[in-house]
Structure 1
Amino acid sequence: MPHRYPVREIARQAGVSESTVDRVLHKRPGVREGTVLQVEQAIADLDRQRTQLRLSGRRFLIDLVMETPRQFSSLAREALEHELPGLRPAVMRARFHLRETWETDDLIAELDSICRRGSHAVVLKAPDVPEVAAAIGRLTAARIPVITLVTDVPMSTRIAYVGMDNRAAGATAAYLMCQWLRHVDSDVLVITSSTMFRGEEEREMGFRAAMRTYDPGRRIVEVSDSDGLDATCGALTAATLRAHPGIGAVYSIGGGNRGIVEAFADADRTCEVFVGHDLGDANRALLRSGHLTAVLHHDLRADMRQVAQTVMGYHGALPGDQRPRASGIQIITPHNVPEYEV
């Protein structure tokens, strides 16, 4: 069977004779091991260059649809915009549909509008509700792939989830909490932005399961539906502190951390350990001021690279399986805050 590249082309790439390439391809003796590796490397280089040629002139338009606090949507937008130039020779453009809160009917209308207008992909952070799953099905039927970001809608036709393992993130938060509270008698406040986001639910489940293992007697007080916004989180935390005088630690799953800090200060209460998520400007400042003990962070730029590769793989512009891998969970303390968040 003829090789996918002409012998002459492989020989030119490897810098050896055509007869040497022919012996290597047909596994004939008389070729040094180093020369065999040289020919194999040349073929691998030609594969990569063929991929670049396949990408040349390809244009993709994707839609980023997110319901999330502005702090996080800004991080996601900046991460994607930083990655776009590195996708050349392919050209990828993005349209952004970002809101802090989104009525379900309005969100579905936006997704259906994209379905009518057309797109090469939708990158979605949205609640895990039947209406969203149905809208994803309509996009899929229109050959518009959907990739969920940070929080999943698993019972849908989305082609991939990109983000961290949220159960593992919650378990990591519990491990840190138990280590730092080892000699402190304190209840733990767990606060989420919405019960509808699968990622937040999985973080909480991971946290509770690990707490049962590491510190089964520790009391956990749950507050939900904070919207992840400072004002709402502050008001809910203040009310919870009044009702539960034993609270002295926080695991903030969904954001609004400045409001939580202010509520502790207004109540003249000490927060011994405060673990949050994502490295936006507010969390950077809270880390440096000592109000946040640690932030669980993942590399959003790496996430966006995986998003782009998944989109291009779906449309046949990249070879092989472009299935994303789970993002690494980084533990950021006041002593190792990166200079840039993206």
Structure 2
Amino acid sequence: MSNRYLVKDIALQAGVSEATVDRVLNHRPGVRAHTARRVEQALRELDRQSTQLGLAGRKFIIDIVMEAPPRFTEAVRAALEAELPGLHPALFRCRYQTHETMPAAGMASMLQRIALRGSNGVLLKARDDEAIVASVAALARAGIPVVTLVTDLPASPRTAYVGIDNRIAGETAAYLLGEWLGDAPAEILVSLSSNLFHGEEEREAGFRHAIGRRRPPPGIVTITEGHGNHGETGLLARAALARHPGIEAVYSIGGGNTALLDAFVAAGRCCRVFIGHDLDAENIALLHAGRLSAVLHHDLRQDMRAACQQIMRAHRALPAATSAPRSGVQIATPYNLPETV
């Protein structure tokens, strides 16, 4: 089987041996199905990044490891790959390992395998869990820098955190909801994908602090562990609406916004104000349809550029910096959507 890439480049991209790649390319037996799929994925990744192959510069093989719904992981992938040409003369090749949900033990094992096989850096969105923190420490001991995305692991020896200040984001949501709801009594539904993510905890804490300063403070009903999944989030929302007839607004920290809105429709109730996060395809469509009041947005392309620069700094390819700057919290409505989304 002919192929446009060198076997050693495919092996490096896939994180497997050259012999394994050769067996897959020539359809010989002795390769597990998931390993063959990894080689096939590596070929697709190399195809997407082919515009980078002609760049003369230092090469960085990085792993993007995320526990998040596909709508967010695809947004991250698009933002990162849009930034790669601008990193010239450095050449980045990306290996993606993304999962909608993954137990902490499984994530920790995955990071341990990366520490063993080698990498120039890891971009990580993961739960704040002891086993994952220990795996980040193993990566650091192996000389592999880790940059946390969107949600931090503050107790870990990660190289940097890239993303918004989640506490300020929560306070911003509280301000908007408070102003739009006014003084009329109402309860607010706060939806998290999981309280195991440090970033979501920070958003909720900021929201509760700021909304609690209003007089009288509105009631807060929290649902969690829907993982941003449509089915699970919808079930949690419908149960909360059945128990709390005063809910009239939503602060969606963890996504699954269509399911949350559909729960109001199913209950025959009106959602007066709805604040969400991230300009993914679902939220853009909901904004255009007038179903979301506003979305708190941060520039993912800026985040990806900053993350790659942190990897380069860790390898002394760029001058050292004190820390990665936080992304600004932007308020997106149907009338001011950024041109890049």
TM-score (norm 2): 0.82
Identity %: 51
Question: Which residue does 2:143 correspond to in 1?
Answer: 143
Question: Which residue does 2:196 correspond to in 1?
Answer: 196
Question: Which residue does 1:182 correspond to in 2?
Answer: 182
- C-alpha distance in structure 2 between counterparts of 1:216 and 1:63, whole Å: 48
SS in structure 2 opposite 1:81? helix
* Letter in structure 1 aligned against 2:127: P
The answer to whether the Cα contact below 8 Å between 2:57 and 2:88 also exists between their aligned partners in 1 is no
- C-alpha distance in structure 1 between counterparts of 2:284 and 2:146, whole Å: 31
* Letter in structure 1 aligned against 2:267: A
RMSD after superposition: 1.2
- C-alpha distance in structure 2 between counterparts of 1:188 and 1:336, whole Å: 26
* Letter in structure 2 aligned against 1:206: G
The answer to whether the Cα contact below 8 Å between 1:310 and 1:322 also exists between their aligned partners in 2 is no
The answer to whether the Cα contact below 8 Å between 2:125 and 2:148 also exists between their aligned partners in 1 is yes
Instruction: Extract unaligned runs of 5+ from structure 1.
Output: 1-54
* 1:182-231 per-position Cα deviation (integer Å, ceiling 9, x unaligned): 04321100010101000000000000000111344211111111111111
- C-alpha distance in structure 2 between counterparts of 1:338 and 1:222, whole Å: 31
The answer to whether the Cα contact below 8 Å between 2:105 and 2:132 also exists between their aligned partners in 1 is no
Question: Which residue does 1:60 correspond to in 2?
Answer: 60
- C-alpha distance in structure 2 between counterparts of 1:216 and 1:60, whole Å: 54
Question: Which residue does 2:22 correspond to in 1?
Answer: none
Q: Determine which structure has more spread, i.e. the larger CA radius of gyration.
A: 1
The answer to whether the Cα contact below 8 Å between 1:313 and 1:322 also exists between their aligned partners in 2 is no
SS in structure 2 opposite 1:270? coil
* Letter in structure 2 aligned against 1:170: G
* 1:292-325 per-position Cα deviation (integer Å, ceiling 9, x unaligned): 0000010000001101111111101112316210
SS in structure 2 opposite 1:148? strand
* 1:105-151 per-position Cα deviation (integer Å, ceiling 9, x unaligned): 22111111111110000110000010010000000000001110000
Question: Which residue does 1:245 correspond to in 2?
Answer: 245
* Letter in structure 1 aligned against 2:209: A
- C-alpha distance in structure 1 between counterparts of 2:96 and 2:269, whole Å: 40
- C-alpha distance in structure 1 between counterparts of 2:90 and 2:203, whole Å: 36
Question: Which is worse superposed, 332-341 or 183-192?
Answer: 332-341
The answer to whether the Cα contact below 8 Å between 1:65 and 1:123 also exists between their aligned partners in 2 is yes
* 1:270-312 per-position Cα deviation (integer Å, ceiling 9, x unaligned): 0000000000111011111111000001000000110111111
Question: Which residue does 2:19 correspond to in 1?
Answer: none
Question: Which is worse superposed, 200-209 or 99-108?
Answer: 99-108
Question: Which residue does 2:51 correspond to in 1?
Answer: none
Question: Which residue does 2:209 correspond to in 1?
Answer: 209
* Letter in structure 2 aligned against 1:191: S
The answer to whether the Cα contact below 8 Å between 1:178 and 1:215 also exists between their aligned partners in 2 is no
2:257 is the counterpart of 1:257: yes
Question: Which residue does 1:4 correspond to in 2?
Answer: none
The answer to whether the Cα contact below 8 Å between 2:310 and 2:324 also exists between their aligned partners in 1 is yes
* Letter in structure 2 aligned against 1:105: A
Runs of 4+ in 1 over 6 A off after TM superposition: none
Question: Which residue does 2:229 correspond to in 1?
Answer: 229
Return closer, same or farther for 1:220/1:143 CA change in 2, 3 Å cut-off.
same
SS in structure 1 opposite 2:153? coil
Cα displacement (A) at 1:338? 2.6
Q: How many residues were matched structurally?
A: 287
2:311 is the counterpart of 1:274: no
* 1:217-266 per-position Cα deviation (integer Å, ceiling 9, x unaligned): 21111111111111111111011100000000000000000100111011
* Letter in structure 2 aligned against 1:93: R
SS in structure 2 opposite 1:213? coil
Question: Which residue does 1:291 correspond to in 2?
Answer: 291
Question: Which residue does 1:91 correspond to in 2?
Answer: 91
* 1:152-185 per-position Cα deviation (integer Å, ceiling 9, x unaligned): 0000100100000000000000000000000432
Cα displacement (A) at 1:334? 1.7
* 1:317-340 per-position Cα deviation (integer Å, ceiling 9, x unaligned): 112316210001010012112343
Question: Which residue does 2:37 correspond to in 1?
Answer: none
TM-score (norm 1): 0.82
2:76 is the counterpart of 1:76: yes
- C-alpha distance in structure 2 between counterparts of 1:146 and 1:216, whole Å: 44
- C-alpha distance in structure 2 between counterparts of 1:154 and 1:311, whole Å: 18
Instruction: Extract unaligned runs of 5+ from structure 2.
Output: 1-54
Question: Which residue does 1:169 correspond to in 2?
Answer: 169
2:333 is the counterpart of 1:333: yes
